[in-house]
Amino acid sequence: MKKNTYFTDIEQFRRDMTIKAELNHFPMQFSTTWGLFSPRAIDEGSKLLLNYIQVKHDDNCLDIGCGYGPLGLTLAKAAPDGRTTLIDKDFVAIEYTEKNIKLNNLSNCETFLSNGLNQIGKRRFDLIVSNIPAKVGNELLSLFLIDALKHLEPGGRIYVVTITGIRRYIERSFKEVFGNYKKIKQGKTYTVAMAVKENSHYDH
């Protein structure tokens, strides 16, 4: 009788995976699991964003939809004199981000559950980043951008990476909310864009 290996093989899928990568010249490692976005390797969109983002050493940063933390934890390394906040609506993502904060010996981070920015409180940031899902939807994107504007310091920047197919939609949305838009890098698959909180928005 042939041995059924299905149930024995399945146990390997329960084990955590480890990703080692150099991001922004920092050697980083991440514990991941199935069910999280891009669990076997850092996705190309995140890598593209990190290649083109400008971070100051004392930036207070926010990573929206952090997953297991590749964007936010790299920003925390790049801004050691600032504070980085990582949020996600998925409790598994937050659990693994907490693991990865320890794994990368970071003390300038915090992470917690939040649907969009609804748990941010009165925190304000110099830099906000997000790897925006292709199917984010108009309503959620609008909430996300309006709340990002509210929580940015004057002169603060927001960087996003999206699939190139929705770049025009992102451009229109940025111009409506922030009054400006800059395409940082457009590739075949992903586009990195940014906007700045300008003087006209200081009191919003």
pLDDT computed for residue 144 by the predictor: 93
Superfamily of domain 44-201: Vaccinia Virus protein VP39 (3.40.50.150)
pLDDT computed for residue 203 by the predictor: 47
pLDDT by position in tens, the chain (length 204): 455 666 667 777 788 889 999 999 999 999 999 999 998 999 999 999 999 999 999 999 999 999 999 999 999 999 999 999 999 999 999 999 999 999 999 999 999 999 999 999 999 999 999 999 877 778 888 899 999 999 999 999 999 999 998 899 999 999 999 999 999 999 899 999 999 999 765 544
Q: How far apart are CA 85 and CA 59, in angstroms?
A: 11
Q: Where are the domains of the chain?
A: 44-201
- Enter the pTM of the model: 0.92
pLDDT computed for residue 6 by the predictor: 64
